[in-house]
A and B are shown apart, each in its own frame.
Chain A
């Protein structure tokens, strides 16, 4: 695996607040990596550090072997689609596209035009007058058409309706298939985006909780459903991340079931279901937040 970005012991403190706490990970080259986590987990700060827009307190970031901050050669290869992008006064959409062409050596104007039509962006409207969704769409157009070898999307779909989001995912995948590049995508809509992701890094409270291939992650947790007694008997001493019961039925989320255990569960008449990526992230971050009570429990009468 070739790493486009290597991060070692990266820490960022804002006064008394530690936004990023000694994280280490690698971003695989030419893969779509998702940066997942709760609000305020540190995703945006991390992206800002990787793109040289914030200066690290300590630790190292290597993009192509060099620190990105104030490094023109490293930044040359990156495009960062921010959540709240500031545009110069009096810019209209057409000016954004015109400027982007100057900044990104690989800019594809024809592709940009296709995207503008897809998202129905008014070229002559002032950027200040765009709706939240249209603003996001402009950012997406720039991010996609830049063909930057390393492209970051920080919650790029804010305000976009479901149709527009689907257009984004489709265009991203189609272009990525033809012109592979490293994509890092931070998101709340984990299940929607989950199908795109090859790797996922889950961050909570400035620390990395999970960093793995999405396929591998999907197999780590399983939901076991059945009668309360049977479920409890099966689960035994395993670590339970979440428990939900309705009357005499219970549903628990457990980790690390191998084939033998699965066979046992089926024999005991229990139902096994895979846990979606979103549930995985939710369960993991919840239990990480409150490790003393290793079970989250919900009683529904």
Chain B
């Protein structure tokens, strides 16, 4: 073995960092675009609330409005966006990273870190915006976008955890499906959907046959109420775990097909 090849030490950590940085090489994809869209959606909503406000004439109308607006799904697009980012991570960032000499393990580690960073970042942003919303009495118009009823929570920590868990779940479930597609293409993906459907229908069939729906429903309900503020994050955890596990296992032997 020549000295030239042996002399250079392996800097294995550097490619993991390189893969992680590649996600931010074009900052628009992961940062700028979501922020711009968020600002636009918020402004649009505030405008609509302002218009509605101008036409609310009595207390009854206003109560109606407040009732309705707590169901606002305006903030949900971010979760879909993160899902798409995760799909792109597997279909585009993975082949790119492999071609530039990263191992699959390095890619998975780097991507996991990126998911965590983005989840923490955007969960924090959403929580801060929820705070502003609460303090400003719904952006001045009793509007609700970040404190919609889906996110529950009176405790700010629980609220942050809810956003964090939901974002992470979107990332990992997105990656899982994309990884299945990357490795086994359309056949694999259809099979994956079939498996999920079978599990759901199978579970439902099982519950029906054993007449266990009541018990099941009661069990879920009691688990939910006993978890209190942390109910949503807790129930999202299985998706996070399964998504992460599937992504890891599938990508470990994934190859790039053109």
Pick the interface stretch among A90-98, A205-213, A220-228. Answer: A90-98
Please list 26 pairs of residues, one from A and one from B, whose beta carbons are closer than 8 Å in the complex, sorted by A's number: A48-B255, A48-B256, A51-B101, A53-B256, A55-B255, A64-B5, A64-B6, A72-B10, A72-B102, A72-B103, A76-B8, A76-B12, A77-B5, A80-B99, A85-B96, A86-B92, A87-B96, A88-B22, A88-B96, A89-B92, A99-B25, A99-B100, A102-B14, A103-B100, A103-B101, A104-B100
Least CB distance from A20 to B in Å reads 14
Closest chain A residue, CB of each to CB of B97:
A103
Q: Which residues of A are interface residues toward B (Cβ below 8 A)?
A: 2, 4, 29-30, 48, 51-55, 64-65, 70-73, 75-80, 82-92, 95, 98-100, 102-105, 148-149
Flag if A83 contacts B258 (CB, 8 Å): yes
Residues of A within 8 A of B26 (CB): 88, 90-92, 95
* B95: Cβ under 8 A from any A Cβ: yes
* CB < 8 Å neighbour of A70 from B8, B93, B105: B105
* B253: Cβ under 8 A from any A Cβ: yes
Flag if B29 contacts A90 (CB, 8 Å): yes
Is chain B's interface secondary structure helix, strand, loop, or mixed overall? helix
Residues of B within 8 A of A95 (CB): 25-26
* B15: Cβ under 8 A from any A Cβ: yes
Interface residue range, chain B: 35 or more
Residues of B within 8 A of A77 (CB): 5, 8
Which 9 A/B pairs are nearest by Cβ-Cβ distance? A73-B10, A102-B18, A72-B12, A86-B95, A103-B100, A75-B101, A95-B25, A84-B258, A103-B18
Residues of B within 8 A of A75 (CB): 15, 101-103
Those of B56-115 within 8 Å (CB) of chain A: 88, 91-93, 95-96, 98-106
Q: How many A-B residue pairs have CB under 8 A?
A: 117
Q: How far is the CA of A100 from the CA of B102 in the complex (A)?
A: 12
Is chain A's interface secondary structure helix, strand, loop, or mixed overall? loop
Given contacts A82-B99, A99-B22, whether A87 and B6 have CB atoms under 8 Å apart is no
Flag if B17 contacts A102 (CB, 8 Å): yes
Q: Which residues of B are interface residues toward A (Cβ below 8 A)?
A: 1-2, 4-6, 8, 10-12, 14-15, 17-18, 21-23, 25-26, 28-29, 88, 91-93, 95-96, 98-106, 253, 255-256, 258
Residues of A within 8 A of B93 (CB): 88
Closest chain A residue, CB of each to CB of B12:
A72
Flag if B92 contacts A71 (CB, 8 Å): no
Closest chain B residue, CB of each to CB of A72:
B12
Q: How far is the CA of A29 from the CA of B103 in the complex (A)?
A: 23
Flag if B25 contacts A53 (CB, 8 Å): no
Residues of A within 8 A of B4 (CB): 30, 149
Flag if B103 contacts A71 (CB, 8 Å): yes
Least CB distance from A102 to B in Å reads 4
Flag if B5 contacts A102 (CB, 8 Å): no
Residues of B within 8 A of A148 (CB): 101
Q: How far is the CA of A148 from the CA of B100 in the complex (A)?
A: 10
Least CB distance from A103 to B in Å reads 4
Least CB distance from B16 to A in Å reads 8
Flag if A79 contacts B14 (CB, 8 Å): no
Least CB distance from B175 to A in Å reads 15
Residues of B within 8 A of A73 (CB): 10, 12
Residues of A within 8 A of B98 (CB): 53
Least CB distance from B70 to A in Å reads 35
Closest chain A residue, CB of each to CB of B253:
A55
* CB < 8 Å neighbour of A88 from B2, B12, B14, B29: B29
